[in-house]
Amino acid sequence: ELKVEQNPLFLSMQEGKNYTIYCNYSTTSDRLYWYRQDPGKSLESLFVLLSNGAVKQEGRLMASLDTKARLSTLHITAAVHDLSATYFCAVRGGATNKLIFGTGTLLAVQP
């Protein structure tokens, strides 16, 4: 059974600092997704990573994928308050094409 683990579950950081969120998954998968969710809102797609070594960047966020280590990272550079949200990674699982979501990382950026 495919499992997806994120850490940390909660991250409080100051504006201007850098940090990384980690996403580990338990079995082979060829697609990994990062989503952002604001409180009470829908999930917004941030990145789709399709191959080993894939790196994508958007603004202060950069995501990477290491399929051999079954690890993806979401790096935050010089955090700003607007990045405060919950971030989910998700991995495609098996023949059903189901996305298995991690538990999410609640990011709070303090001024």
- For residues 51 and 89, give the distance between their C-alpha atoms in angstroms, rounded to a whole number: 15
Is residue 48 within the footprint of another protein (CB under 8 A)? yes
Nearest approach, Cβ of 21 to another protein (angstroms)? Answer: 15
Residue 107 token pair: 């990011």
Number of residues that bind another protein (CB under 8 A): 20
Quote the CA–CA distance of 47 and 69 in Å, as a whole number.
Answer: 19
Write the binding mask 16 to 45 for another protein: x where contact by CB under 8 A, - elsewhere.
---------------x-x------xxxxxx
C-alpha span between 34 and 95 (Å, rounded):
21
Residues that bind another protein (CB under 8 A): 31, 33, 40-45, 48, 88, 90, 92, 96-99, 101-104
